[in-house]
């Protein structure tokens, strides 16, 4: 009788990663029409929750998150751990407090294509995950998408930068200028 121990780790990882990367498109195909607008809200909540796993992975793996480049690398590594090696990209440091994640291969797009899922939905998932994960990793930083393959660009560019300082008045009132 075959035993799980006889299946190499890289083969198990391959299938686990494929499953994790396909699930969002499969849920979209199955539930979007039935749930309508409620689907988008529920889906965003799920991806914001997954962002908390990014922090857990960074913490347990001792990934540093003290500056923009370290945060970018932690997000990139956690994404590979969660969704597999089909994810490919690089990190560019653009300043002391700024970095850019350049994504050239995305497992969500690969599976969106094979399952006839909507690329725009893939973008909303990634955006919810990334924009939530960055300040969870370090409250002094924020992220924004400059380009996205889901919307037709050749690659994704996610800029991570230090948040501007909050003035005393903004701190007291909670209202930005």
For the chain, the average pLDDT equals 85
**Would 177 be classed as within a structural domain?**
no
pLDDT tens digits along 25-77? 788 778 878 888 888 888 889 889 999 999 999 999 999 999 999 999 999 99
**Would 2 be classed as within a structural domain?**
no
Q: In the predicted model, what is the mean pLDDT of residues 141-156?
A: 92
Q: Which domain holds residue 51?
A: 8-164
Structurally, the chain folds into a number of domains equal to 1
**Would 173 be classed as within a structural domain?**
no
Give all strands of the β-sheet with 141-147 in edge-to-edge order. Answer: 88-95, 98-105, 156-162, 141-147
**Residue 84 pLDDT > 70:** yes
Q: In the predicted model, what is the mean pLDDT of residues 11-16?
A: 82
**Residue 177 pLDDT > 60:** no
**Would 140 be classed as within a structural domain?**
yes
CATH number at residue 66: 3.30.1380.20
pLDDT more than 90, % of the chain: 40
Q: With a threshold of 0.85, does the pTM exceed it?
A: no
Q: In the predicted model, what is the mean pLDDT of residues 89-101?
A: 91
Q: Which long-range contacts (CB under 8 A, 24 or more apart) does 45-50 make?
A: 47/124, 47/125, 47/126, 47/128, 47/129, 47/132, 48/128, 48/129, 48/132, 50/82, 50/129
**Would 3 be classed as within a structural domain?**
no
Q: What is the pLDDT of residue 113?
A: 59
């Amino acid at each position: 009788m075959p035993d799980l121990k006889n299946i190499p780790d890289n083969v198990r990882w391959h299938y686990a990663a494929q499953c994790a990367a396909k699930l969002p498109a499969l849920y979209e195909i199955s539930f979007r029409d039935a749930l309508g607008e409620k689907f988008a809200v529920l889906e965003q909540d799920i991806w914001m929750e997954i962002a908390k796993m990014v922090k857990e992975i960074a913490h347990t793996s001792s990934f540093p998150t003290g500056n923009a480049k370290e945060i970018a690398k932690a997000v990139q590594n956690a994404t590979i751990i969660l969704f597999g090696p089909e994810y490919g990209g690089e990190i560019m440091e653009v300043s002391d407090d700024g970095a850019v994640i350049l994504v050239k291969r995305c497992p969500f797009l690969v599976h969106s294509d094979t399952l006839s899922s909507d690329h725009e939905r893939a973008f909303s998932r990634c955006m919810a995950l990334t924009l939530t994960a960055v300040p969870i990793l370090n409250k002094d930083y924020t992220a924004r998408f400059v380009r996205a393959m889901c919307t037709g660009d050749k690659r994704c560019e996610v800029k991570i930068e230090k948040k501007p300082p909050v003035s005393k008045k903004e701190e007291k009132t909670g209202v930005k200028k």
